Structure 1
Amino acid sequence: MSHRDTDPSTACFRPFDPQRDLQWVHALNQANGDKLSFLSTEELLELIASASYARVSDDCMAFLIAFEETDLYDSQNFKWFRHRYASFTYVDRIAVDPRAQGQGVARSLYEDLFSFSKRRHKPFIGCEVNSDPPNPASMAFHRSLGFEQIGSAVISQGQKSVSYLARAL
């Protein structure tokens, strides 16, 4: 069965396993580095070790990494949420292999994160989407999941603008 034959509602996600997943997760991250940020394998392992949520699809086509307010993470965007909210889950990055895009995998990963965060009594999920340079596909996707803009910032020494989004749980 190919990934296109897989029903996204039955997609299986599991915790990141460095032995099984580091190579393909790193490659997928780097392929999307202009939107996510480029990381060395060591930086990726450190990021995942600090995250409350790091899950991958069983078919090695997607991953999502998220943090809670108590996690140790030095991201400017994460800190934006931490300075404003006492409790939340923050999506740092999600990536889907181009061969699986449009199949509902990202939506299913988010649904898994929503369930995870509800069990942990988080009031909302936060994330940022690039607004300059724009990422209209990501903005449309997040809006379709019920995310709304709650703020914005100019980052990276004025080289990039982001919109901060949130979805209540």
Structure 2
Amino acid sequence: MVNAARLLALNNAHAEQTSLLDPTRLQQMIAGAFQVATIGEIECFLIAFDQDADYDSPNFLWLRARHDRFVYVDRIVTAPEARGRGHARRLYRDLFAQAVAADHDRVLCEVNRVPPNPGSDVFHERLGFTGIGEATSASGKTVRFLERRLTPGDRGG
């Protein structure tokens, strides 16, 4: 069972990198997600959707218009005091395994360019993500879309 209150608090503390959520929106996201994963007392969390999700995020819709089948990481956040412990990497590895098990061949996400998020850029590059496009929202936020192709080796063990 996900501790939604803690997840919401951690998300909203990092709203510049993700986006602000209210409890209702968070519950909708959890209900429609391909995967919701957490570590500890919400030291780190990940929310991902597949292409069939009933989700209206402009970034998700941009990707769905260009790809038939995928898993999309909508957000991954690690609490500052828990950084450097490999939590986010562990959540991604588990997501890769779940995506391969569900016959997906790619995981997609985006990272802010404006405002910049250099730590996330480096993290995703180390996991094998590469750029596949950019978009700017009406609010002026620019994101870079990334793709990580999956292999049978991502199944885990």
TM-score band, normalised by shorter chain: over 0.9
Quote the residue 2:74 is aligned against: 92
Which amino acid in structure 1 is aligned with residue 144 of structure 2? S
Q: Which residue, out of 43, 67, 70, partners 2:49? A: 67
2:135 paired with 1:164: no
Per the normalisation by structure 1, the TM-score is 0.86
Following the alignment from structure 1 to structure 2, what is the Cα–Cα distance between the partners of residues 43 and 72?
A: 12
After superposition, where does 1:28-43 map in structure 2 within 5 Å? 28-43=10-25
Q: Which has the larger radius of gyration?
A: 1
What's the CA shift for 1:58?
3.4
Matched residue pairs, number?
Answer: 150
Name the CA shift for 1:132/1:59 in 2 (closer, same or farther; >3 Å).
same
Following the alignment from structure 1 to structure 2, what is the Cα–Cα distance between the partners of residues 30 and 144?
A: 26
Which whole-Å deviations, capped at 9, do the CAs of 1:88-147 have from their partners, x for residues lacking one? 000000111111101110000000000000000111000000001111110110000000
Following the alignment from structure 2 to structure 1, what is the Cα–Cα distance between the partners of residues 116 and 16?
A: 12
Structure 1, unmatched stretches of 5+, are 1-16
Name the CA shift for 1:159/1:57 in 2 (closer, same or farther; >3 Å).
same
Q: Please give the secondary structure, in 1, of the residue aligned with 2:113.
A: strand
Following the alignment from structure 2 to structure 1, what is the Cα–Cα distance between the partners of residues 10 and 40?
A: 15
Q: Please give the secondary structure, in 1, of the residue aligned with 2:128.
A: coil
Q: Which residue, out of 27, 32, 56, partners 1:45? A: 27
Which amino acid in structure 2 is aligned with residue 87 of structure 1? R
Which whole-Å deviations, capped at 9, do the CAs of 1:55-100 have from their partners, x for residues lacking one? 1113431110000001110011111111111110000001111111
Following the alignment from structure 2 to structure 1, what is the Cα–Cα distance between the partners of residues 79 and 32?
A: 24
Q: Which residue, out of 122, 132, 147, partners 1:150? A: 132
2:112 paired with 1:113: no
Structure 2, unmatched stretches of 5+, are 151-157
Quote the residue 1:12 is aligned against: none
Following the alignment from structure 2 to structure 1, what is the Cα–Cα distance between the partners of residues 5 and 116?
A: 29
Following the alignment from structure 1 to structure 2, what is the Cα–Cα distance between the partners of residues 120 and 58?
A: 26
Identity %: 41
2:38 paired with 1:56: yes
Runs of 4+ in structure 1 deviating by more than 2 angstroms, as ranges, are none
